[in-house]
Amino acid sequence: MSNVPIIILKEGTEETREREARKQNITAMVAIAETIRSTLGPKGMSKMLVDSLGDVTITSDGAEILKNLDIENIAANMMVNVAKSIDEDIGDGTTSAVIFSAALLNNALELIEQDIHPKPIIHGYKLAADKALEIIKEIAEKISRDDNEVFKNAAKTAMNAKDIAPLKDFFSGLALKAVKHIAEEDGNTFAKVSNIKIVKAPGKSLKDTELINGVYTQKGKVNTMMPDLIKDAKIAVIRRKLDVKKTEFDAQIRISSPTDIQKFLNQEDKILQDYLKIFKDLGVKMIVNSSDISEKFGAYLAKEGIAGIKNVSESDYKSILKAVDAKLVDDLTSLSENDLGFAEKVQFEKLGDDEYTLFSGCKNPKSVSILLKGGLDKILSTAEVSLNDVLSVIAKLFDTKTVVAGGGAIYIELAKRTRAYANEISGKEQLAVNAFALAFEEIPKTLIRNAGLEEIELLTELRAAHRTPDDKWIGIDTITNTIGDNFKKGIVEPAELINHIIKSGSELTNLILRVDRIISAKGSMP
């Protein structure tokens, strides 16, 4: 008997081999890119997403669109993961990452169809990716934390392709202020972006959006007699029902005399009074409860001049905890001075029909909220997604401090230099490096196409314009439809965004090219 293991596949298992397997995977991935290709850039189109309940969202945000696609194909899902990972690590660039990855895969497929083995393609792609990262390191512009204009320009570039573009001057200033508030010296600003709490509030227009020093939460006080403003507030953040516990079963209480009734009520009251005493003794002025506060207890608190909000969501109480520097307490009997947080002011406000609580002058000076105002709910939701992109881009730039020019400029320069590098390489790898260079041009090409401009003509013009190193930032501005130095025009992006696009694209192609078989279980989607 030979030592070769015999793998017996279950009946119904399908096996797809080699070339066909790669082709199947790549075709599915390219199809994903096609669904969002037309959204890229300032002249990109939007997509209308309709969920299973019939709710409609209109967006041009790649990550949003892909999140809402119901995809069963495994390879296609890997493409969606490329978008997810750049969304998590950079917060922008999802559409570009997907388009670039698809171009890399497509170009690889063409080489495979010319009978080139995947091994030299994988190797060539690896060489090209490493070279491209080196080129970016060499040519990217270094900035300092005080280059406010560059930060704002990066924010505006990220907004150019979004619905909030008409307000980009306003929002870039506001977003920069917000990020400066939470900025960290240690290069961890990006991780802290979630500390900027975006609160959607009714208002006339997005232009009324405000940056607030502190944390907002959409909750009103539980009893109208509670104070509207509390100064120097000691705050307890708890997760405990402030009510008398109901019995598990519907118990019947037999009461035979009026004194029994009184006894029973007194007992119930005693429990509430004990709770109240805990707060009073510690000098608590404000209670944030993720659980319920009964009407009766609310009235007791109000009488003592203590305010409270109830049923506060997890994300809200977490940001309050951080802002006021409190510890979450479940067991009231263990509540101590150490668990309490502090804010100079706790205010209750009414905005439109909704009630809000604002904690300001917090122990943690880094807590900040953006009160995003606008008329329609849909506009607010789309603006929130875009604003998150913008905050992430600025924060990433704070941590990495290097930018490149957008509008295709960086990609044309990368294509040019990667092609020059290909000439230094021999064999089949050279073809692969050239294929990688060609994939870079897919981004400017798509920007031009989406603007309804002449693709081949302008791409040729851009290539020709990149003659000397000084031409490195020449790109297209599809708002004014002009070719020029996009760095000077303020169309800039974090270099880290392009790095990520290159890395995720080449990792994905590597993975897919290594697959030479698809074995799918009976009934599964390929």
Ligand X SMILES: Nc1ncnc2c1ncn2[C@@H]1O[C@H](COP(=O)(O)OP(=O)(O)OP(=O)(O)O)[C@@H](O)[C@H]1O
Q: Where does this chain bind Mg ion (CB under 5 A)? A: 92
Active site residue 13: no
92 vs 442, beta carbon nearer Mg ion: 92
Q: Where does this chain bind ligand X (CB under 6 A)? A: 39-42, 44, 60-63, 92-96, 157, 160-161, 389, 406-407, 443, 447, 476-479, 491, 493
89 vs 268, beta carbon nearer ligand X: 89
Active site residue 61: yes
**Distance from C-alpha of 215 to C-alpha of 237, rounded to nearest angstrom:** 14
335 vs 497, beta carbon nearer ligand X: 497
Which of ligand X, Mg ion, none is residue 63 near (CB under 5 to 8 Å by kind)? ligand X
Active site residue 477: no
Cβ at position 493, least distance to ligand X in Å: 6
Could you list the beta-strand ranges (E) of 35-148: 47-50, 56-59, 141-142
Task: Give every CB contact of residue 176 below 8 A, 6+ residues apart in sequence.
Answer: 148, 151, 152, 155, 394
- Calculate ∠ Cα 383-386-388, nearest 5°: 110
**Distance from C-alpha of 478 to C-alpha of 409, rounded to nearest angstrom:** 12
The residue at minimum Cβ distance from ligand X is 406
Which of Mg ion, ligand X, none is residue 442 near (CB under 5 to 8 Å by kind)? none
Residue 176 and residue 394 in contact, taking contact as beta carbons nearer than 8 Å? yes
217 vs 386, beta carbon nearer Mg ion: 386
The pair phi, psi for residue 430, each rounded to 5°, is -60, -40
422 forms beta bridges with none
Which of ligand X, Mg ion, none is residue 501 near (CB under 5 to 8 Å by kind)? none
Q: Which one of 16, 39, 57, 94 is the catalytic residue?
A: 94
92 vs 429, beta carbon nearer Mg ion: 92
230 vs 476, beta carbon nearer ligand X: 476
Characterise 523 by phi-psi region: left (phi > 0), alpha (psi -120 to 50), beta (else).
Answer: left
Cβ at position 247, least distance to ligand X in Å: 54
Active site residue 333: no
Which of ligand X, Mg ion, none is residue 42 near (CB under 5 to 8 Å by kind)? ligand X
DSSP output for 298-311:
HHHHHHTT-EEE-S
Cβ at position 484, least distance to ligand X in Å: 11
Six-digit token string for 52: 């299973």
Could you list the beta-strand ranges (E) of 178-313: 196-202, 210-212, 214-217, 229-238, 286-289, 307-309
Cβ at position 53, least distance to ligand X in Å: 24
DSSP output for 419-488:
HHHHTT--SHHHHHHHHHHHHHTHHHHHHHHHTT--HHHHHHHHHHH--SGGGTTEEEETTTTEEEETTT
Cβ at position 242, least distance to Mg ion in Å: 46
Half-sphere exposure of 321 (CA within 13 A, CB side): 17
Cβ at position 96, least distance to Mg ion in Å: 7
Burial category of 220 from C-beta neighbours within 10 Å (exposed 0-12, middle 13-18, buried 19 and up): middle
- Calculate ∠ Cα 172-166-37, nearest 5°: 95
Characterise 257 by phi-psi region: left (phi > 0), alpha (psi -120 to 50), beta (else).
Answer: beta
Q: Which one of 57, 61, 87, 418 is the catalytic residue?
A: 61
Which of ligand X, Mg ion, none is residue 478 near (CB under 5 to 8 Å by kind)? ligand X
Q: Which one of 16, 59, 95, 382 is the catalytic residue?
A: 95
Cβ at position 268, least distance to Mg ion in Å: 58
121 vs 497, beta carbon nearer ligand X: 497
**What residues are labeled active site?**
61, 94-95, 389
